[in-house]
Amino acid sequence: MIHCHNPGMFMLSGTNCFVVGRGTLKTLIDPGDLPERNAEFIQNFSDYLDVNAEVKISRILVTHGHFDHFGGVFEAIRLLKEKERATEDLLVFKQLTGNHFESFVLEKFPELRERLHTIANK
């Protein structure tokens, strides 16, 4: 678990991000908030990657579209690329609902669209 340090009325002390999987290929779950509220998470995630030098992230899973779960995807991808810790085919999975949080993030970071795959609601 990597704490995001983005406290708020509904987030208590802040949201959490998880790195899960066996072996060296891992999935990153809920990579934090919008960049202006995510600096501590990005530092914590960078530290995690430094300590776990063998880890590569192949997937990012977003549990829902609120800023504090989806807003940090772009910055997490940027960090993974900078540290050469993303697989070449890194994908982002999220149930696409078109809510205003999701729309805001995709308008702010349109390049996310090419990596984003929907999780069907079946």
26: in domain: no
25 found inside a domain: no
**How far apart are alpha carbons 33 and 30 in whole angstroms?**
9
Classify residue 62: in a domain, yes or no: yes
Task: Report the candidate in 11, 60, 20 with the shortest Cα–Cα distance to residue 38.
Answer: 11
pLDDT in tens, 3-50: 555 555 555 456 778 999 999 999 999 998 888 878 888 999 999 999
Residue 81, classed as helix, strand or coil, is: helix
Contacts of 46 (CB under 8 A, 6+ apart): 79, 83
Asked if the structure places residue 70 within a domain, the reply is yes
Number of independent structural domains in the chain? 1
Report the catalytic residues.
68
Q: Is the pLDDT of residue 54 over 80?
A: yes
Asked if residue 96 is part of any domain, the answer here is yes
pTM over 0.75: yes
Q: Is residue 88 part of a domain?
A: yes
Q: Which domain holds residue 48?
A: 2-20+31-118
Task: Please give the Cα distance from 102 to 88 (Å, whole number).
Answer: 24
Q: Is residue 38 part of a domain?
A: yes
